[in-house]
């Protein structure tokens, strides 16, 4: 294990977007396709009994009822205007989790290979699709108006034409309109007067944060317009296959989110699970994606996520400091006081998480476990003191 000072330097290098290539050595472990090395808690720098207690805590916080996921979706969002489930939902059958340090599995529980709905964790995957578009030169300036490249009327209004890729990525666009037969204001409406929602005052892009699946779906649609390939194909070809992920994951859109693009019928995928759809994936594949992020977007000798992207993706949003480009941040250690400020994570409804701690070279994946802070705090307690 790296000593404390060096680990902190590398962690902040990741956060600030400095090159990590020099810090990835031949000794760093990357799991081959279909396999993953295990190590003991003691060898990974954990106090075994304390780690066992952290795992028991995580298992005790699993929530599996109701198993039919359409039920909690309707309970959480069914009172919103024009709500209906538009994509697949499936079931949750087992809580599962992985604790990985130094790239190797230290603890595991549950069914790690069953693909299940992951809700808003997919937003962080979508952020990385934007990274690929940016790295390929399809987005030259993240602060440029999206209307310069998506010219079908989606961003034509006086308000919407001010919206940049930066605004879509940090959920500060306040885009106004209808996508896949759902109005932006109908998703998590603000205020008590339904009659006021369609006439709500619009906020200047960048000045107001709102977690909104309609606008994240708009980002997915806009990226599809640039990349001219289904986003699941892009994800598989450029990220998931190179990191050795399984072929069992699926990324869905809605029944009504099909478009014709260059003569082909393509489904624009969902960036969340509010209306169903989104990414259905297993715990091991989540962990591979998380390890890629923990390694600064590098897998073995290949830089899969363009250098410099994480500097942008993990920069706190001015009006929401614990949020970056569809990643959650531990800015000022407010969200998880026991964890380093450099920690970041993807989060989804129902207790789905991919948590990365560069300072401790630590990766945690939780499924159906809405207790991230508790589990991470227990893991910090379980770590052996550094020399």
pLDDT (0 to 100) of residue 25: 53
In terms of domains, do 140 and 236 share one?
yes
Residue 256 in domain: no
Residue 188 in domain: yes
Residues counted in the chain? 387
How would residue 24 be classed by pLDDT, with cut points 50, 70 and 90?
Answer: low
CATH number at residue 284: 3.40.710
Rounding to the nearest 10 degrees, give the CA dihedral for residues 216, 314, 132, 295.
-130
In terms of domains, do 107 and 159 share one?
no
How would residue 12 be classed by pLDDT, with cut points 50, 70 and 90?
Answer: very low
pLDDT (0 to 100) of residue 387: 64
Residue 11 in domain: yes
Cα 251–272–127 angle (5° rounding)? 80
User: Which two structure tokens, joined as six digits, stand for 218?
Assistant: 């708009």
Residue 258 in domain: no
pTM: 0.94
pLDDT (0 to 100) of residue 194: 84
Residue 264 in domain: no
pLDDT (0 to 100) of residue 13: 53
Express each pLDDT in 264-295 by its tens digit: 999 999 999 999 999 999 999 999 999 999 99
Q: Which H or E run includes 292? A: helix 283-294
pLDDT (0 to 100) of residue 83: 94
Question: Which whole number is the average pLDDT over 243-265?
Answer: 98
357: which strand partners? 362
Residue 255 in domain: no
Q: Which of 119, 128, 123 is nearest to 292 (CA)?
A: 128
Question: Which whole number is the average pLDDT over 196-203?
Answer: 90
Is 221 in a helix, a strand, or coil? helix
Nearest-angstrom CA–CA distance, 271 and 219: 8
In terms of domains, do 91 and 30 share one?
yes
Range of the domain at 227: 124-247
If one counts the domains in the chain, the total is 2
In terms of domains, do 55 and 107 share one?
yes
Q: By mean pLDDT, which of 48-62, 183-197, 320-334 is the weakest?
A: 183-197
Nearest-angstrom CA–CA distance, 215 and 177: 9
In terms of domains, do 99 and 135 share one?
no
In terms of domains, do 135 and 54 share one?
no
Express each pLDDT in 139-187 by its tens digit: 999 999 999 999 999 999 999 999 999 999 999 999 999 999 999 999 9
**pLDDT top residue among 120 and 11:** 120
Residue 99 in domain: yes
Question: Which whole number is the average pLDDT over 74-78?
Answer: 94
The residue whose two tokens read 């896949």 is 180
In terms of domains, do 99 and 31 share one?
yes
232 pLDDT more than 70 = yes
In terms of domains, do 292 and 358 share one?
yes
What percentage of the chain has pLDDT greater than the value 70?
A: 93
Residue 220 in domain: yes
pLDDT (0 to 100) of residue 21: 31
Q: Which of 173, 196, 197, 172 is nearest to 187 (CA)?
A: 197
């Amino acid at each position: 294990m790296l000593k404390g000072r060096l680990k902190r330097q590398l962690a902040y290098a990741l956060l600030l977007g400095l090159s990590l290539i020099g810090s990835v050595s031949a000794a760093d472990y990357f799991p081959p396709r279909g396999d993953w090395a295990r190590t003991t808690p003691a060898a990974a720098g954990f106090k075994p009994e304390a780690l066992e207690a952290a795992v028991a805590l995580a298992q005790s916080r699993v929530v599996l009822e109701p198993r039919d996921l359409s039920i909690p979706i309707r309970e959480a969002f069914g009172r919103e205007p024009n709500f209906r489930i538009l994509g697949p939902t499936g079931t949750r059958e087992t809580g599962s989790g992985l604790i990985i340090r130094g790239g190797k599995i230290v603890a595991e529980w549950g069914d790690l290979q069953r693909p299940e709905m992951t809700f808003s964790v997919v937003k962080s995957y979508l952020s990385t699709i934007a990274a690929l578009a940016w790295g390929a030169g399809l987005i030259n300036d993240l602060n440029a108006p999206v209307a310069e490249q998506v010219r079908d009327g989606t961003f034509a209004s006086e308000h919407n034409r001010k919206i940049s890729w930066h605004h879509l990525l940090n959920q500060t666009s306040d885009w106004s309109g209808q996508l896949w037969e759902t109005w932006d204001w109908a998703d998590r409406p603000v205020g008590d007067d339904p009659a006021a929602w369609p006439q709500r005052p619009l906020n200047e892009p960048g000045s107001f944060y709102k977690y909104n699946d309609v606008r994240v779906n708009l980002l997915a649609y806009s990226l599809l317009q640039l990349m001219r390939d289904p986003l699941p194909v892009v994800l598989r070809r450029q990220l998931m296959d190179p990191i050795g992920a399984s072929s069992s994951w699926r990324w869905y859109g809605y029944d009504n989110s099909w478009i014709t693009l260059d003569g082909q019928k393509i489904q624009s995928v969902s960036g969340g699970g509010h209306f169903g759809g989104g990414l259905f994936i297993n715990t091991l594949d989540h962990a591979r994606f998380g390890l890629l992020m923990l390694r600064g977007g590098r897998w073995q000798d290949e830089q899969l996520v363009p250098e410099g992207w994480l500097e942008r993706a993990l920069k706190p949003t001015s009006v929401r400091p614990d949020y970056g480009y569809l990643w959650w941040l531990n800015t000022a250690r407010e969200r998880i006081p026991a964890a380093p400020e450099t920690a970041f994570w993807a989060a989804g409804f129902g207790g789905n998480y991919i948590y990365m701690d560069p300072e401790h070279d630590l990766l945690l994946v939780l499924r159906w476990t809405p207790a991230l802070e508790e589990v991470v705090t227990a893991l910090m307690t379980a770590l052996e003191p550094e020399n």
